[in-house]
Amino acid sequence: MAVTNTTGLEDLLSEWHQLPKEERFGWFRGLPRNLREDLFLDLSSYEQSELVLAMPPHEQRTWMRVLAPDDAADLIQQVEDEDQRKALLDRLDETNRRDVQALLAYAEDDAGGLMSPRFARLRPDMTVDHAITYLRLQGRQMETVYYCYVLDNEQRLLGVVSFRELFASEGSKRIDQIMERDVVSVLEDTDQEEVARVIGTHKLLAVPVVDTEGRVKGIVTVDDVVDVVQEEASEDIQKMGAVSALEVSYMETSFWEMIRRRVGWLSVLFLGQLLTATAMDHYEDEIARAVVLVVFLPLIISSGGNSGSQASTLVIRAMALGEIKLRDWTRILLRELPSGLTLGVVLAVLGFVRILVWEWMGMSYGEYYYLIGGTLALSLVGVVLFGTVTGAMLPLALRALRLDPATASAPFVATLADVMGVIIYFSMASVLLRGTLL
């Protein structure tokens, strides 16, 4: 049967990933040519670069030429050694080299770094029949023929014709009669996350990249954007988990690289936590007099941390998806204040009930158990409210400072909530328990 359910290639890829790096090239060479090509095209740019660098020059030439210019540029961008980059560029033929060099001038994360210079161009005064014949001649030169861009003599964008439109139109009509003039485009230095958002919102298959004069420099296709979306989501997820974003996959990251990406934030958060120790130092007397208070301390501080994580997670993701903007901060605050209060009250009730249940079960916290319960309950309201509001506002504050809102926000909020939890709890205790336990 002609249909393969992807399994062959999937298995190959998985086998590739299991191999130690130094054995991969030998194994790759042993595959039949058509499998090698399929596998090569499915690898990430980083893996492609490793493979190509392991090859002798004449094989490098072959494999570099298999790639489209934007993919070749991506591969070269993965190589750190300047001489090796130059050598790989030299393996390309003249036209390709020029295209790739132009692409390398852009930052990797910009629309310019994502785009392909190969797209279908038409002139406004062509007829539909003429356009179709013309496109058939251009043939293999094009990255995508789903949209044809209509340009004037200075390469400025006049409009766009989808292939479906072109096909469905009468042969004698002129392109400028059928083209759509309202074209969504992005600039060369538009950030890739924004490019992904534009393509996603408008459900496009490709978006043209123009310079400030409106001249088309290339197109970004939606398949490039799927990678971007995954990459950006990984970055956010990792940062929210207090890990510096990995450059390559989990398994490809070396042991020490992995430690380096984790130890920084872990130490920063540890140093932040030393503040809780300092705060606790202040309450040593209270603790000595009412040890029972300490029993609930971890509960208090982690409730603040958990509610803070929830709020910051929601706000960070909504910002990444463009659902909320910086200017919405008052509306968010007005939502999160009552949310924090409500959630705090729920936990306070649970906490108070726990004290009562223990009391009924005979494991008493002493005659003032109801005061301890009250301290616990009120502190929970305070700390959950604080965690929720801080969790919602911190990502917005980071964005206002032009920092990435995802950066370790959740654990950061948890640390703040810990310190604040200690302060709220013991302050509450010194008010409520004065004259009884304290």
Binders of a second copy among 142-181, rule CB under 8 A?
A: 142, 144-146, 156-159, 163-164, 167-168, 181
Q: How would DSSP label each residue in 140-173?
A: GG-S--SEEEEE-TT-BEEEEEEHHHHHHS-TTS
292 binds a second copy (CB under 8 A): yes
User: Strands 120-122, 147-151: parallel, antiparallel or unpaired by DSSP?
Assistant: parallel
105 binds a second copy (CB under 8 A): no
Q: Which stretch binds a second copy (CB under 8 A): 19-27, 75-83, 102-110, 306-314?
A: 306-314
- The amino acid occupying position 379 is S
- The amino acid occupying position 56 is P
Q: Which of 56, 80, 82, 255 binds a second copy (CB under 8 A)?
A: 255
To a second copy, the closest distance from the beta carbon of 96 in angstroms equals: 17
User: Strands 186-187, 206-210: parallel, antiparallel or unpaired by DSSP?
Assistant: parallel
414 binds a second copy (CB under 8 A): yes
Q: Which stretch binds a second copy (CB under 8 A): 37-45, 58-66, 92-100, 394-402?
A: 37-45
287 binds a second copy (CB under 8 A): yes
CA angle in degrees (0–180, nearest 5) for 310-311-317: 90
Residue whose entry in the numeric block shows the structure tokens 């489209």: 68
328 binds a second copy (CB under 8 A): yes
To a second copy, the closest distance from the beta carbon of 141 in angstroms equals: 9
Binding mask 259-278 toward a second copy (x if CB under 8 A, else -) reads x--xx-xxx-xxx-xx-xx-
Q: What whole-number distance in Å separates Cα of residue 98 and Cα of residue 103?
A: 9
40 binds a second copy (CB under 8 A): no
The smaller minimum CB distance to a second copy, of residues 90 and 258, is found at 258
Residue whose entry in the numeric block shows the structure tokens 């005064």: 125
The smaller minimum CB distance to a second copy, of residues 26 and 241, is found at 241
6 binds a second copy (CB under 8 A): yes
Q: Which of 199, 371, 424, 428 binds a second copy (CB under 8 A)?
A: 199
CB 158 within 8 A of CB 215: no
The smaller minimum CB distance to a second copy, of residues 23 and 323, is found at 323
Q: What whole-number distance in Å separates Cα of residue 39 and Cα of residue 19?
A: 14
Nearest to 161 by CA among 153, 199, 173: 173
CA angle in degrees (0–180, nearest 5) for 44-49-53: 155
299 binds a second copy (CB under 8 A): yes
73 binds a second copy (CB under 8 A): no
The smaller minimum CB distance to a second copy, of residues 87 and 246, is found at 246
Q: What whole-number distance in Å separates Cα of residue 198 and Cα of residue 221?
A: 12
